[in-house]
């Protein structure tokens, strides 16, 4: 079981960012799969919160959305959107795990419109709970496609604030001090953020990917340290767990 899909690699790299005993607010799709994978491998005490209101469920099979009834299976609590976001307001969500159509150099996420807001080329689903999760959780982890138009210098619309326009901007906007984007996982690489400038910084490239490919597919000047690593391959156990979570390959593909 050595072969893996690009999405399976993204899911495993993403799951490695989650620590045992932490709490994570999860969005629909790949973030959900990565959180479930972490829980079934190295982080059995990871507490998952779904924005529709479920806290610490034992998810039996892959839900189709965060509002699926399976998200509440054997949950500690099944409240509602307000209850989950109030948990974030109290500083009790360690990680927000989100996707987006665009992510810029400061980790701002766009899931609202492409183009002019009033006359967009594409109207997207919007925030859901993403703005609240990204505003109130201590660390935000983002999954996105690594393409120039997906990683622009500035997003068309800030649905979920990252570091907005640089150091200190979140605090000036009234967001909790010490919160913000933490990791960005794409099909090419793993990125973090520079502590001083709050700009996106390369951490590792995925196996088989060159540094030049990452540069060519990024729509801004990515900070590149001297010690860029290579992302770990999925293990046999991780691939087995992934295929148990999504047996039909609806999201991870095969």
Residues annotated as catalytic are 51
Neighbour-count burial of 176, counting CB atoms closer than 10 A to its CB (0-12 exposed, 13-18 middle, 19+ buried): middle
Residues 6+ apart with CB under 8 A from 225: 201, 202
What angle (nearest 5°) sits at the alpha carbon of residue 9, between those of residues 217 and 221? 25
Q: State how far the alpha carbon of 149 is from the alpha carbons of 96, 102, 124, in Å.
A: 23, 7, 15
d(CA 195, CA 174): 19
Estimate to the nearest angstrom the gap between the alpha carbon of 123 and the chain centroid. Answer: 21
d(CA 250, CA 247): 8
Among 150, 189, 171, CA closest to 180: 171
DSSP 83-137: HHHHHHHTT---EEEEE-SEE-TT--EE-SEEE-SSSEEEE----TTHHHHHHHS
């Amino acid at each position: 079981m050595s072969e893996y899909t690009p999405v399976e690699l993204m899911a495993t790299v993403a799951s490695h960012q989650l620590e045992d005993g932490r709490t994570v607010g999860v969005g629909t799709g790949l973030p959900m799969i990565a959180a479930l994978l972490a829980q079934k491998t190295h982080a059995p005490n990871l507490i998952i919160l779904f924005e529709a209101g479920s806290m610490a469920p034992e998810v039996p099979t892959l839900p189709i959305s965060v509002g699926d009834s399976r998200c509440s299976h054997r949950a500690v609590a099944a409240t509602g959107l307000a209850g989950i976001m109030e948990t974030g307001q109290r500083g009790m969500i360690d990680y927000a795990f989100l996707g987006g159509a665009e992510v810029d150099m400061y980790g701002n996420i766009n899931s609202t419109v492409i183009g002019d807001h009033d006359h967009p080329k594409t109207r997207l689903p919007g925030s859901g709970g993403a703005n609240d999760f990204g505003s109130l959780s201590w660390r935000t982890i983002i999954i996105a496609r690594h393409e120039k138009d997906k990683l622009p210098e500035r997003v068309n619309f800030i649905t979920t604030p990252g570091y907005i326009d640089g150091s200190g901007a979140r605090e000036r906007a009234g967001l909790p001090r010490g919160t913000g984007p933490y990791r960005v996982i794409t099909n090419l690489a793993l990125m973090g953020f520079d502590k001083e400038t709050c700009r996106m910084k390369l951490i590792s490239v995925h196996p088989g990917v060159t540094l030049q490919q990452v540069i060519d597919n990024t729509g801004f000047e990515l900070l590149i340290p001297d010690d860029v690593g290579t992302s770990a391959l999925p293990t046999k156990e991780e691939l087995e767990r992934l295929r148990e979570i999504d047996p039909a390959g609806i999201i991870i593909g095969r």
